[in-house]
Amino acid sequence: SYELTQPPSVSVSPGQTARITCSGDALPKKYAYWYQQKSGQAPVLVIYEDSKRPSGIPERFSGSSSGTMATLTISGAQVKDEADYYCYSTDSSGNHRVFGGGTKLTVL
Amino acid sequence: EVQLVQSGAEVKKPGESLKISCKGSGYRFTRYWIGWVRQMPGKGLEWMGIIYPGDSDSRYRPSFQGQVTISADKSISTAYMQWSSLKASDTAMYYCARHIGEQQIHDGFDIWGQGTMVTVSS
């Protein structure tokens, strides 16, 4: 079955740039989506179609994709950005939709 | 305001049946795929399946096929997830979520429900 691989954790100091990666064989052909989930809350879409930002999401959140890796970048990370982040995509057939395992971002 | 509102928390015994709901409002319910996502305690998100309320076309993750049934009643803008015989391993938070693009089967989710916690214990 198709898998998306994320690092379990990323840690940065406030004001630094946090980068969270997501690798998958079909990412050269399929979009990546990124979700932020804070403790006890429903997920929130922060990036869609690799690099588009929904309305209401701060400009410090950006996305990119190159080859088999998609990256979520948080420029000038803030303590309030601490959360679990999940990438989401599909396999090359489009039939198998999966979330990555999640990355816990710590900002302190 | 576009929103999905889910039914409340449930506590059930193994072997019991259950149907949880997800009501959409603020948009044309029949024209957007709705998905269900499981999150077991302390674990990550798992895509379970999707349904198009316009004609009830559905897709399932193979591991959930036959274990749950996804349905929709377009007359009341509500999607459902049901189990015929619950197991302790079904204990989890279940989210419904809407696809971003109208009629787009291959898409991510933008609007999420608040989640329904299902606890299965004897």
Mean pLDDT across B67-83: 98
Mean pLDDT across A18-44: 97
A85: nearest CA partner in chain B: B44
What is the rounded average pLDDT for all residues in chain B? 96
Q: Is B31 on the interface with A (CB under 8 A)?
A: no
Contact (Cβ atoms closer than 8 angstroms) between residue B53 and residue B29: yes
Cα dist from B121 to A28, B13, B18, whole Å:
44, 5, 13
Is residue B122 over pLDDT 90?
Answer: yes
B104: nearest CA partner in chain A: A94
Mean pLDDT across B8-23: 98
What integer pLDDT is reported at residue B8 of this predicted model? 98
Residue in the block written with tokens 């690092």: A7
Give the single-character DSSP code of A5.
Answer: B
Question: Residue A101's pLDDT band (boundaries 50, 70, 90)?
Answer: very high
B96: nearest CA partner in chain A: A42
Q: What contacts B70, CB < 8 A, 6 or more positions away?
A: B36, B48, B49, B50, B51, B58, B60, B79, B80, B81
Q: What is the pLDDT of residues B95-107, one digit of tens each?
A: 999 999 888 888 8
Cα dist from A92 to A6, A102, B66, B76, whole Å:
19, 21, 24, 35
Q: Is A44 on the interface with B (CB under 8 A)?
A: yes
Q: In chain A, what is the greatest distance between 2 CA atoms, to the nearest angstrom?
A: 41
Contact (Cβ atoms closer than 8 angstroms) between residue B33 and residue B48: no
**What is d(CA B34, CA B48) in angstroms, rounded to the nearest whole number?**
11
Alpha helices in B23-106 (DSSP H): none
Cα dist from A17 to A13, A23, A106, B47, B90, whole Å:
8, 20, 12, 30, 38
**What is d(CA A65, CA A74) in angstroms, rounded to the nearest whole number?**
15
Contact (Cβ atoms closer than 8 angstroms) between residue A31 and residue A89: yes
At position A88, the amino acid (one-letter code) is Y
Question: Residue A95's pLDDT band (boundaries 50, 70, 90)?
Answer: confident
Mean pLDDT across B32-36: 97
**What is d(CA A8, CA B64) in angstroms, rounded to the nearest whole number?**
25
**Chain B residues within an 8 Å CB radius of A85:** none
Residues of B (66-95) whose Cβ lies below 8 Å from A: 95
- Give the best residue of A93, A97, A98 to mutate against chain B (max B CB count within 10 A): A97
Is residue A96 over pLDDT 90?
Answer: no
Q: What is the pLDDT of residues A65-77, one digit of tens each?
A: 999 999 999 999 9
What integer pLDDT is reported at residue B106 of this predicted model? 82
Mean pLDDT across A45-52: 97
**Chain B residues within an 8 Å CB radius of A96:** 61
CA atoms within 13 A on the CB side of A96: 14
User: For B66, left (φ over 0), alpha (ψ -120 to 50), or beta?
Assistant: left
